[in-house]
Amino acid sequence: MRNLELLADELQTLRNYVGKPIIISSGLRSFQHNLEVGGATHSQHLYGTAADFKAVGMTTLELANAIEHLIGIGQMKQGGLGIYDTWIHYDIRGEKARWDNRKKKAWTAS
Q: Does the residue 7 lie in any domain?
A: yes
Q: Does the residue 88 lie in any domain?
A: yes
Q: Does the residue 110 lie in any domain?
A: no
Q: Does the residue 66 lie in any domain?
A: yes
88-91 sheet: strands from edge to edge: 22-26, 50-55, 88-91, 80-83, 97-100
Q: Does the residue 107 lie in any domain?
A: no
Q: Does the residue 38 lie in any domain?
A: yes
Q: Does the residue 106 lie in any domain?
A: no
Domain tally, the chain: 1
Residue 80 belongs to domain with CATH number? 3.30.1380.10
Give the range of the structural domain holding residue 57, as residue numbers without chain letter: 2-100
The helix-helix angle for 60-72 and 2-18 (nearest 10°) equals 110
Q: Does the residue 109 lie in any domain?
A: no
Q: What is the reported pTM? A: 0.88
- Residue by residue, pLDDT tens for the chain (110 residues) are 899 999 999 999 999 999 999 999 988 888 898 889 888 888 888 888 999 999 999 999 999 999 999 999 999 999 999 999 999 999 999 999 999 999 976 655 55
